[in-house]
Structure 1
Amino acid sequence: MTTTALWDFGRGSGVVALVLLTASLVLGIATRSGRPAPWLPRFAVTELHRNLSLLAATFLALHVGLLLFDPYAMLRLFDLVLPFAGDYRPFWQGLGTVALDVLLALVVTSLLRHRLGRRTWRAVHWAGYALWPVALVHALGTGTDSFTPWFLTLAAICTAAVAGALCWRLSARFAERHNPARLEARP
């Protein structure tokens, strides 16, 4: 019974982490535009992005932690650091390790943002664009629910949200709005 619970909660926390990463990426793009959301002021969009990002990291840690103790997943501490070395579906599991490593770099540099400087933080933060598809492909390749109708529907919704945000980001309508006070404070 315990083994099944670890597996079920491990899978569930991975799905929740993917949804939160999707929302965080979309809000990160919205934050970058400098516009308020129709229902939130600009500062609240930024705070919601940060909090969703930390919540996604928490659920990812829960996902990894639960599967680390699950005998079916066969994760080793080594697998959490070095990608593609796992015993269970090494390529797909390795993508999860890459996503975990990138997320850790994003969290650490975000926590140290004021000490690193805006340019360094921003350079590392661009990895967030790579994190999301790697996490999605990991979920599709290694997840036991990956080809169930409910998960495919969820993956399609997440993909549509990110694709829509990226199309907006790359469009001429995106034009960033800058706060003059923020421009003066930049290093």
Structure 2
Amino acid sequence: MILLVLMTLSVALGVLSTVRASSRLWPRFVTQHLHRNISLLAVALLIAHAALAVIDEFVNIRWWDVFVPFRGEYEPLWLGLGTLATDFIIVTVLTGLSRTRFRSRTWRAIHLTSYLGWGAGLAHGFGIGTDSRETWSVAVSVLCVGVVVWSVVVRLGTFGTERRLERHSPAGSRRQARDRERAR
């Protein structure tokens, strides 16, 4: 559950860090730094979670089950979803670390796999978690879904404002002129 909460915070802060709005009390760089640091902590806990699942001999989970989905002997569907989540998070981390090597749109498209990783991790926890059917656990999961949905709604709500600001900025005017020239 701690990992789910951290991943939820990471996804929500990642979404909110793309919102162009900021204030003196909460500048945009604060959200971005929180996103990176919480993501780092979540990845460290994910590594520990996967390693402990392999080391613990209570169930038969092999080291390759951490990377190759749906091949494990123990709960192949739910374990496979956890593996997919791990794979998506690995892709997200690697592209985050090498962001400057990608075009902005390419990086963003690849980085969006974090949503898939978060969703697969949520499903993994619900399907295989020992406390997943407990009232408190369901409440935390519903709250996590609510936080991510709320952050996406906030982000989608800023698109119109961003487009208007971009049209009136010097960089936006240059971009529009360049796009018109390309269209000819």
CA contact (8 A) 2:19 2:158 kept: no
1:66 corresponds, among 32, 45, 52, to: 52
1:84-103 equivalences in 2 (<5 Å): 84-103=70-89
Q: Cα gap change, 1:34/1:142 in structure 2, threshold over 3 Å: closer, same or farther?
A: same
1:106-185 equivalences in 2 (<5 Å): 106-171=92-157, 175-176=161-162
CA contact (8 A) 1:22 1:162 kept: yes
Q: CA deviation at 1:139?
A: 0.4
Q: CA deviation at 1:173?
A: 6.8
Structure 1 unaligned segments of length 5 or more: list them. 1-14
Q: Cα gap change, 1:181/1:121 in structure 2, threshold over 3 Å: closer, same or farther?
A: farther
Larger Rg: 2
TM-score w.r.t. structure 2 length? Answer: 0.83
TM-score w.r.t. structure 1 length? Answer: 0.81
CA contact (8 A) 1:21 1:56 kept: yes
Amino acid at match of 1:149: T
* Displacement over 6 Å in runs of 4+: 180-184
Q: Cα gap change, 1:43/1:84 in structure 2, threshold over 3 Å: closer, same or farther?
A: same
- Say how many residue pairs are matched: 169
SS at 2:71's partner residue?
coil
Q: CA deviation at 1:91?
A: 0.2
- In structure 1, the residue matched to 2:31 is 45
SS at 2:120's partner residue?
helix
Q: Cα gap change, 1:48/1:181 in structure 2, threshold over 3 Å: closer, same or farther?
A: farther
Q: CA deviation at 1:23?
A: 0.5
Q: CA deviation at 1:40?
A: 2.3
Cα RMSD over matched residues?
Answer: 2.4
Q: Distance in 1 between matches of 2:161 and 2:111?
A: 20
1:10-89 equivalences in 2 (<5 Å): 15-36=1-22, 39-89=25-75
Structure 2 unaligned segments of length 5 or more: list them. 175-184
Q: Distance in 1 between matches of 2:39 and 2:170?
A: 25
CA contact (8 A) 2:91 2:110 kept: yes
Q: Cα gap change, 1:126/1:67 in structure 2, threshold over 3 Å: closer, same or farther?
A: same
